Structure 1
Amino acid sequence: MSKTIFITGASRGFGRIWAEAFLERGDKVAATARNIEALNDLKAKYGDAILPLQLNVDNRSEAFDAINKAANHFGSLDVVINNAGYGLFGAVEEASEQEVRQQFETNVFGLLWVTQAALPIMRKQGHGHIIQLSSVLGIFTLPVLGIYNASKFAVEGLSETLAQEVKGFGINVTLVEPNGFATDWAGSSSFHSESIEAYDGVKKAFNDGLTDDAFGIPEATAPAILKLVDEKNPPLRYFLGKVGLPTTQQVYAQRFAEWEQYADVATAAHGK
């Protein structure tokens, strides 16, 4: 049975790949982009199955308008995928106030506005699935991406809470957590803070540690997303790529060891 999918950031990268995968199998897609001309070829190929919508997710009223247009046009809203976002590269000290605020405006607040817009519709329907594009960097961190890490940690906390609040309405929430993929995310889609020379060594070590094998093939994610959307009881968390699980296992082993080292201190601090 076909579904109605609303997906942000559909002009390129994961958003584009996933939107076309949904359309190819017969789903209806409301695809948003800041420049909807980038969706003209999909409109020409798939016709009425796709509804291109111009949207800057930073704008809350635009987010509500786009969600309502999609629901009114297709008559329902089965799945919302909050895919829009970008990376900010730079040490924490290097990030300007404007860069930090803009990173959170898009990656956190933009996702929140779309989510808030979709919830009343899904509650009324009695069903829905909200998919939040997080990252493995919402679970563990890498240097030179501190502000981006922080935005994805925020998405994780927000969405985990949301999942508990809306489960009783028949609404599921999933955090999709990709590792690095060979999209344009680290290219022209990203931003770089003005450098401070003191961090050159940290950046060199970070870049030297990157290998081609660590980056997945974006198109290979489409079957995983189709499977997720079709799950009757979708998971809260969903890795994409081969890096996330083993790295997370290692990171959490280190975290538990550190917590356990100070367990007696923590217990005493409870006071009773």
Structure 2
Amino acid sequence: MARTWLITGINSGFGREMAEQLLARGDRIAGTVRNADAVDDLKAKYGDRLWTAVLDVTDTPAIYRVVNEAFSDLRKIDVIVNNAGYGLFGAAEGLTDEQIMHQINTNLVGPIQVTRAALPYLRAQGGGRILALSTYGGQATYPGASLYHASKWGLEGFFDSLTGEVAPFNIGVTIIEPGGARTSFRRTAGASMGAELEAYKNTPLGVIRHVLSDPSRIPNGDPVKMVKAMIGSLDQMPAPNRIVLGTDSYTMIQKALSERLAMVEAQKEFASSTDFPVED
């Protein structure tokens, strides 16, 4: 069954791969790009099955305009994919105010506003699906990625809560948690890190700088297989709450959740000690 998708950020990475796979199988796409000519090759090949709009997801009025136009032109959109985003790394105190706000506005506020703009249409048409591209960094953390984690933990909190809100309207929500993949993510992130502070050079923060700058460190994740799994989730009923993609993602999330649960369990008696006494 052919579907119609709205995908943010189809110019590169997972967004581009998803657009290629979906168009090749006969689906329609409303895709957003930062540069108007970024997908000219796809438009030439697939014609009016690819609807595009230039969008900066930090521009909320533009988000509502684009989403409204997409639904108006395509009539029905089955799937909303919040894909646009990037990684910001470096010591928290080495980031500028502008870097901080742009990271949060792109990775968190943007997807929230895209989803808010689309929800009235999804409810009116009787349902749909929403995919939110997160990362294992939405569940686990490491030094040097505080703002990136902040954006992705916020993203997961929003969409986790949204799942229950929109379920009565036949709208499913799935959070995607990929590990490292062979896209341009690391190269782009490595080129726009925060300032390198002398005080942090011999701390764990140095590891992430090394990872991002070392071309021999090639991620295991296959973006073609990962995107195929994302698309395949649309055939699962009900919608899966989360999809973990990649051995590194599974390992990091499993470790983080196990340690977090053990810490909580160890505080059971202490937690209850702060309640008012139970009255007989």
- Tell me whether 1:12 sits opposite 2:17 in the alignment: no
| Aligned counterparts of 2:22 and 2:235: Cα–Cα separation in 1 | 11
Contact preservation (8 Å) 2:137, 2:149: yes
| Aligned counterparts, 1:1-272, within 5 A | 1-188=1-188, 191-201=192-202, 202-206=204-208, 212=217, 214-272=219-277
Which ranges in structure 2 are unaligned for 5 or more consecutive residues?
Answer: none
| Aligned counterparts of 1:206 and 1:90: Cα–Cα separation in 2 | 8
| Aligned counterparts of 1:265 and 1:60: Cα–Cα separation in 2 | 44
Q: TM-score, length-normalised on structure 2?
A: 0.92
* Counterpart AA for 2:26: G
| Runs of 4+ off more than 6 Å | none
* Counterpart AA for 2:262: A
Note closer, same or farther for the CA distance 1:209–1:41 as it changes in structure 2 (3 Å cut).
closer
User: Which segment is superposed worse, 22-31 or 261-270?
Assistant: 261-270
Contact preservation (8 Å) 2:138, 2:156: yes
Deviation at 1:170, TM superposition (A): 0.8
Which ranges in structure 1 are unaligned for 5 or more consecutive residues?
Answer: none
Contact preservation (8 Å) 1:108, 1:151: yes
SS of the residue corresponding to residue 130 of structure 2 reads strand
Contact preservation (8 Å) 1:11, 1:36: no
Deviation at 1:50, TM superposition (A): 0.4
Post-superposition CA distance 1:197-235 (Å, at most 9, x none): 111122333456788465312222232122012323220
Deviation at 1:40, TM superposition (A): 0.5
User: Which segment is superposed worse, 210-219 or 52-61?
Assistant: 210-219
* Counterpart AA for 1:70: A
* Counterpart AA for 2:207: A
| Aligned counterparts of 2:276 and 2:254: Cα–Cα separation in 1 | 32
Q: CA RMSD in A?
A: 1.7
Post-superposition CA distance 1:65-106 (Å, at most 9, x none): 111111122210100000000111101221222211111010
User: Which segment is superposed worse, 95-104 or 78-87?
Assistant: 95-104
SS of the residue corresponding to residue 186 of structure 1 reads helix
